[in-house]
Amino acid sequence: MAARYRIGQDPDYVPLGRRLLLMNWTLVLLLAILSCIGFAMLYSAANGSLQPWAERQMMRFAAGMVLMILIALTDVRVWLRMSYAAYVISLILLVGVEIKGDIGMGAQRWINLGFFQLQPSELMKISLVLALARYFHGLTIEETGRIPLLIPPLLMVLAPAALVLRQPDLGTALLLVAGGGVIFWLSGVRMWKFAIILGGALAAIPIGWQFLRDYQKNRVLTFLNPENDPLGAGYHITQSKIALGSGGLFGKGFMLGSQSHLNFLPEKQTDFIFTMLGEEFGLVGGIALLLLYTLVIVYGYVIALRCANQFGRLVAIGVTTTFFLYVFINIAMVMGLIPVVGVPLPLVSYGGTVMMTILVSFGLLMSISIHRDVRISRQGNDDGRH
């Protein structure tokens, strides 16, 4: 049947009332709890004031929640049709950053909209997942084994990663590549192809090292030996370890952390906010936060497994994996397990674009959950019965 169904005749159409009932309100609650922990830590970081971080973050969260619910209630087939357009717009914005972007903390990553500082690299994390999911949704397992058909999605990953790396933002570039790699793997791309790419990447490390900025080289060298320059390049991670260790089992108490409140801990409201939480609430507080993140991640993968269509599965896995990488990289970074790469802790760190991006991505995840039984043909047609 080539003709599309009208809304009232579409057998996969989900009425608005049922969409609200199918909304994963437990997941919404978990996201709200994580955000409230972030508000509390930002309040503490400002020494007991809602300004300049907590109040702004609350306003962004409120707007983001409304947007998340609107996205969740929208038919997942709408997002499939918009996938490539979203990717192209995000790529154009990344080029715009390269041409005329605002510089902050030595990096050119933002576009000033007057009322909001937009970071296009964050938007690209969602757009890339959508575009790759749509591309692989249209391929059979046999087609994913053909190398010529893998060149377009490979370019879709490498183009934004290269632009982001020029800003420079190594952390986000790694997230784009890693998130894209997961979608490639789950789409059926054979492991030997990953091995070839990984081998080529390892062989190119000496060449790539020459193109790194001095501060990026220092971060790698500091990771290998942070005590070599404790007051210079190693200052961030040294203070982070001191703060985490001083928190002990139960912490020093809310707003009583010495490293953060005496300004020994840098970037306490963004990249190192987990360190401040560990100092104030100790190992118990840190584990409690990790358990909340684990619940959110498990919910995401369960939604992916229950989805009946390939596009929804890949988007759900891509969104959840990106969220996991945010958490893993940030916490491993502040503990000194990996070099400092500037990745925020999702929903807890201060940052408008990151907050909105995370909530939009979970809106997509919940849209997939609500419309999990919708069948979509490989051509992307609405009824999936051709």
Q: Could you write out the DSSP letters of every residue in 57-125?
A: HHHHHHHHHHHHHHHHTS-HHHHHHHHHHHHHHHHHHHHHHHHH-EEETTEEEEEE-SS-EE-HHHHHH
Average pLDDT over every residue of 322-345: 89
Specify which residues 112 forms β-bridges with.
117
Span 193-247, pLDDT tens digits: 777 777 776 676 677 666 666 766 776 666 566 656 555 556 778 888 888 888 8
pLDDT band at 297 (very low <50, low <70, confident <90, very high): very high
User: pTM of the prediction?
Assistant: 0.87
212, containing H or E segment? none
CA–CA dist 111, 101 (Å, integer): 5
pLDDT of residue 131: 96
Q: Is residue 29 part of a domain?
A: no
Domain that holds residue 340: 82-345
Q: Is residue 66 part of a domain?
A: no
Q: Is the pLDDT of residue 159 over 70?
A: yes
Q: Is residue 62 part of a domain?
A: no
Q: Greater confidence, 119 or 295? A: 295
User: In total, how many domains does the chain have?
Assistant: 1
CA–CA dist 259, 245 (Å, integer): 11
Please report, for residues 18, 22, 190, 278, the alpha-carbon distance to residue 203 in angstroms, rounded to integers and kept in the order given. 54, 49, 21, 38
Mean pLDDT of the chain: 84
Long-range contacts of 212-216 (CB under 8 A, 24+ apart): 213/168, 215/106, 216/168, 216/170
pLDDT band at 100 (very low <50, low <70, confident <90, very high): confident
Q: Is residue 297 part of a domain?
A: yes
Q: Is the pLDDT of residue 277 over 80?
A: yes
Q: Is residue 57 part of a domain?
A: no
pLDDT band at 126 (very low <50, low <70, confident <90, very high): very high
What amino acid occupies position 208? Answer: G
CA–CA dist 252, 244 (Å, integer): 11
Reduce the DSSP state of residue 49 to 3 states and report it.
coil
**Structure-block tokens of residue 108:** 């050119």
Q: Is residue 182 part of a domain?
A: yes
Q: Is residue 285 part of a domain?
A: yes
Length of the chain: 386
Considering just the CA atoms, what is the radius of gyration of the chain in Å? 22
Q: Is residue 139 part of a domain?
A: yes
